[in-house]
Amino acid sequence: MKLYDFPMAPNPRRVRIFLAEKGIAVPKVTVDLRAQEQLGAAFLAINRFATVPVLELDDGRRIAETVAICRYIEELHPEPRLFGADPYERAIVEEWQRHGEFDGFLAVAEAFRNATPGFKDRALTGQHGYAQIPELVERGRQRTLRFFEILDQRLGQNEFVAGPRYSIADITALVTYDFAVGTKQYAPAGVAHLGRWHQAVTARPSARA
Amino acid sequence: MKLYDFPMAPNPRRVRIFLAEKGIAVPKVTVDLRAQEQLGAAFLAINRFATVPVLELDDGRRIAETVAICRYIEELHPEPRLFGADPYERAIVEEWQRHGEFDGFLAVAEAFRNATPGFKDRALTGQHGYAQIPELVERGRQRTLRFFEILDQRLGQNEFVAGPRYSIADITALVTYDFAVGTKQYAPAGVAHLGRWHQAVTARPSARA
């Protein structure tokens, strides 16, 4: 197997943390997003959606989507369980993993990509250019703030995002948090539970992946 | 179990089709989105994200997200397999299910909710109002068109969206297609494979759910 990766991008980091939690090493191929390598013909032949990560299997088949890759890894290496251990837990992990993406990750991306000069005419991922829309900067920041408020309340009642156990929902939320802070779209304030949780998940060796 | 539902909304339809493919009947509770019942205190206590569908189990626990609900149903009633039958197939179903959402469903929703007077100041789901942004109407329509072009090519090489078998990826794509056509955000033209597939999946009894 090999993983098409870019160190600075948040979605590949989700897979790297997932692999680190499983204790698995996968060789990496860097796709230089700063040089727009993902928009070149060679990479579009690998993934026409022009995104990383992509996992390539030894027989050449590919899985070109973050969570699909993680699920595949979970099937090959079930322990530790990062998608939940029984049907209800798996449903709640899925629910919060998806809230993390739709209400958190996409909100940060909306603020960041519409605010950042380097993403002019590439406000969305993919091979087609989309113009930046200034109103989306403030909307993205508001959505991010509101998502972290909900997450803070959730973490006041649960050790981890999906409940008592660390899961992929924590990985998505951690990467979203660091994406928001790292790109200065959000500065946490008055969110004690979120801070406690962030410290705990950041202390895990996988967070450096 | 019972399902919080709204007949006209696309996400609950995904769960209804899924249940119909499984041959399972679940009692439904209608949440009247036209009357903004999802924003009232009673429903926010059920789901603070203010969305349907929500599945309530007999012990009162809830799963408040479309795909999380479908996964839970798949665990209780594994046949027919709608999330794939082996690890790689499950990864590809997941990949295309998610492309259908991020690149398809969200694009249609973007065009529709920003274009429609009834969604003034509610351009996104959830309890917080967000203003409509006129530029998003055209952007959403472009994204929809480009997604259906990719899907058309995919369906030129595969009987169903994720490969040789009907799956949740077809359900998401069908609901996205009907959402786009039903709200007049997209009129398919010159997409023969997509048309062939749409006719086939629409002919299944589940499509009327």
Does A130 sit within 8 Å of B133, measured CB to CB? no
Q: CA-CA distance, B193 to B105, in Å (whole number)?
A: 19
Does A95 sit within 8 Å of B87, measured CB to CB? no
- By Cβ distance, the residue of A67, A128, A146 closest to B146 is A128
Quick one: closest CA in B to A102, which residue? B102
Judged by DSSP in three states, A13 sits in helix
Does B103 sit within 8 Å of A49, measured CB to CB? yes
A61 CB neighbours in chain B (<8 A) are 88
Contact of B44 with chain A, judged by CB distance below 8 Å, is answered with: no
Contact of A8 with chain B, judged by CB distance below 8 Å, is answered with: no
CATH of domain B87-208: 1.20.1050.10
| CATH 3.40.30.10 holds for B2-76 | yes
Contact of A95 with chain B, judged by CB distance below 8 Å, is answered with: yes
Does A63 sit within 8 Å of B95, measured CB to CB? yes
Contact of B99 with chain A, judged by CB distance below 8 Å, is answered with: yes
Task: Pinpoint the residues of chain A covered by CATH 3.40.30.10.
Answer: 2-76
Contact of A126 with chain B, judged by CB distance below 8 Å, is answered with: yes
pLDDT in tens, chain B (209 residues): 999 999 999 999 999 999 999 999 999 999 999 999 999 999 999 999 999 999 999 999 999 999 999 999 999 999 999 999 999 999 999 999 999 999 999 999 999 999 999 999 999 999 899 999 999 999 999 999 999 999 999 999 999 999 999 999 999 999 999 999 999 888 778 889 999 999 999 999 999 99
Does A124 sit within 8 Å of B143, measured CB to CB? yes
Q: CA-CA distance, A47 to A75, in Å (whole number)?
A: 23
Cis previous bond, A117, omega within 30: no
pLDDT in tens, chain A (209 residues): 999 999 999 999 999 999 999 999 999 999 999 999 999 999 999 999 999 999 999 999 999 999 999 999 999 999 999 999 999 999 999 999 999 999 999 999 999 999 999 999 999 999 889 999 999 999 999 999 999 999 999 999 999 999 999 999 999 999 999 999 999 888 778 889 999 999 999 999 999 99
Name the residue among B161, B165, B196 with its Cα closest to residue B176.
B161
Contacts (Cβ under 8 Å, ≥6 apart) of B45? none
Question: Rounded to two decimals, what is the model's pTM?
Answer: 0.97
Does A146 sit within 8 Å of B128, measured CB to CB? yes
Its ipTM equals: 0.96
Residues shown for chain B = 209
